[in-house]
Structure 1
Amino acid sequence: MDIRHLRYFVGVCEAGSLSRAADRLHVAQPSLGQQISALETELDTQLFERSRRGMVLTNEGRVFLDHARVVLADVDRAREAVRNANAVPMGAVCLGLPTTVGLMATIPILAVCRSELPNVHLKLIEAYSGTLQEWLQAGRIDIAILYGDAVEVGLKKRALLDDQLAFIAGNGTDVPATFTLEQLENFPLILPGVEHGLRRMVESACAPLHIKLNVVAEIDSLGTVKRAAELGLGCTVLPPMAVAAEVAAGKLKAVPIEGPQMRRRVVLAINETRPGSLAKSRVIEIVERVIADMVAGGAWPAEQLGVMAQQIVHP
């Protein structure tokens, strides 16, 4: 098996047929078909179901596609790293952010990267923290902002800050000046689904205290949750920075929920088994600097940390 086999395989997957893939790859169709058959023989498995309508991946083919894309991406990164070892940072870097973090941090990070790293193609992805961790471990993204500093196999983490979650309500809701976890029982709540990390955190904190939450709706969209709270359809729990604009505009109220159970650690993570690059190292530095400046300037109400969960060694 060589890199050419992998590129041909991915090309057929993306084109959906041998004829279209042959045109895109500038390879004769019979030769391309022979290369795919040789790859299947080497792997001792069928990667495609063939029909008049094209080529459809088998279950084994879908598994192999994920690995093939990671290998090809690594080859491209290696080529870029060698070319740019003593030059300006360039190439592609993929950064994953949880939605609540992305809401505040994506634009500032992008602005600084565009200014300082004009030759770096930055790809920004928003998803659940747990999903981002899986993608980071699989090599699908290069850097991730995650919640929680627990030790994970293959990951290195730097603790950035502690976020105190807050009770969020519409401006017309009567909210006490200080808020305890027990008081959540008194309000109708709109929370994300049970697979969401924030929902699990809230329920885990309430369970030992036998607090019964009145969840009137489950919504995973951050924007929709905030809009529903503005309209008085229910209250929610979010980090204060996720509603900073709405609070400033007088649309929402945010009161920190007292107690260590509602404190969430934000970390920067990389996969220590993946290759590094000058571009990746510089993006990491910018992410850390931008978030530190946001906390210091009050744009992100949180406690900045200098303690390392695990030291990140920049390549």
Structure 2
Amino acid sequence: MDSRKLHYFAEVASASSFTKASEKLLVAQPAISKTIQKLEDELQLLLFDRSEKSAILTQEGKVLFDYANDILGKIEDARRVMEEMRELQRGEIRIGLPSMFGSAYFLPIIKEFKRSYPSLNISVVEEGTKQIRTWIERKEIDFGIISANPIETEVEVIPLLNDYMVACFSADHPLADKEVVTLHELLSEPLIFFKNDCFQKKLLIEVSKKAELEMNVTFTTNQLSIIKSLVAEGVGVTMLLRMVTISNSKMSTVPIYPPIPVQLVVCKKRNTYLSKASQTFLDFLKQKAAASNTCTIIELNDPVFPFETKEVQDPSHQDSF
């Protein structure tokens, strides 16, 4: 049983006439009659009562007619949806973002993309790099933003952003006027971190173990806006990407020495199918990253470091963000 046979059958049943169905389908009546006969032979049932002049459905034909309408309706729905997806009038894009990064760099890109493709649905989940890698592996998201090291062979990466971490204080904090601060100095402060898979926390845990110092984590949240507000009010201190602090005048930032570079990349599972909507967004993101003037790269002569840089934090520690 194929869709063409069902289509001919449904048209004859709807019109109660082989002739009228022939005229509507623009198909010769003998061809329609032959197709219906093949369908009856296949089912080993009579679908029309041929003792009448009109094409009257048998009881078996009435049952099949209900199924045929459902099946042909779903085929038409599928054809229409596929056409909409082909024309990017429908589709879903699933993205994983680190909490620290998403609102600063990515949301303006999403807004610009939505202006071109308003009918596409974009869902964003925020987590750390480790969880984002897991979601990509399980195909629960199409692609995500992760820190560049280490990179598994199973994922394909597109370089996106180079930046570095800065220490964040309230304006009246004693360390806010320093030229640079060290991670050791931060250990003596009440710390505000992102939850769970937290790059900031892992860095300071390593330092605290080596220095045999206790770490005082006073508050955790995955909301960047809450972290900024609490730091500005003097509840605690934190470390953030330099780029996410630029627009916050209520919070003071100080470079960390040695510098802590962070490279973020777009990643997806290698050799995995992407929908046309997701591939279109990924191509758009590649273009934006290539043309972007907002990405910052650590240089030895960066003016925010008024001294010669002797040492740079090993970026291989960036297993989580």
| TM-score for the superposition, normalised by structure 2 | 0.59
Tell me how far 1:288 sits from its aligned partner: 3.4
Aligned to 1:200: 202
Contact 1:96/1:145, CA 8 A, preserved across alignment: yes
Q: Take 2:216 and 2:103, find their aligned partners in 1: how far apart are those partners?
A: 24
| Residues 146-295 of structure 1: pairs in structure 2 closer than 5 A | 146-174=146-174, 175=176, 176-193=178-195, 195-204=197-206, 206-207=207-208, 209-210=210-211, 212=213, 214-221=215-222, 222-246=224-248, 249=249, 251-260=250-259, 262-291=260-289
1:117 aligns with 2:122: no
2:280 partner amino acid: R
Tell me how far 1:159 sits from its aligned partner: 2.5
1:91 aligns with 2:91: yes
Tell me how far 1:140 sits from its aligned partner: 0.7
Q: Take 1:229 and 1:144, find their aligned partners in 2: how far apart are those partners?
A: 28
Unaligned runs of 5+ in 1: 1-77, 305-315
Tell me how far 1:210 sits from its aligned partner: 1.6
Q: Take 1:291 and 1:255, find their aligned partners in 2: how far apart are those partners?
A: 27
Q: Take 1:104 and 1:203, find their aligned partners in 2: how far apart are those partners?
A: 26
Q: Take 1:235 and 1:105, find their aligned partners in 2: how far apart are those partners?
A: 22
Cα deviation digits, residues 186-208 of structure 1 (max 9, x gap): 4332234564233113323x157
Identity of aligned residues (%): 19
Larger radius of gyration: 2
Name the CA shift for 1:92/1:193 in 2 (closer, same or farther; >3 Å): closer
RMSD: 3.1
Tell me how far 1:239 sits from its aligned partner: 1.1
Tell me how far 1:213 sits from its aligned partner: 5.0
Q: Take 1:254 and 1:289, find their aligned partners in 2: how far apart are those partners?
A: 31
Name the CA shift for 1:269/1:195 in 2 (closer, same or farther; >3 Å): closer
Cα deviation digits, residues 48-73 of structure 1 (max 9, x gap): xxxxxxxxxxxxxxxxxxxxxxxxxx
Q: Take 1:258 and 1:216, find their aligned partners in 2: how far apart are those partners?
A: 21
2:237 partner amino acid: C
Name the CA shift for 1:142/1:240 in 2 (closer, same or farther; >3 Å): same
Name the CA shift for 1:165/1:80 in 2 (closer, same or farther; >3 Å): farther
Tell me how far 1:96 sits from its aligned partner: 1.4
Aligned to 1:41: none
Tell me how far 1:113 sits from its aligned partner: 1.1
Give the paired residue count: 219
Aligned to 2:302: none
Contact 1:98/1:126, CA 8 A, preserved across alignment: yes
Contact 1:112/1:286, CA 8 A, preserved across alignment: no
Contact 1:189/1:213, CA 8 A, preserved across alignment: no
Unaligned runs of 5+ in 2: 1-77, 300-321
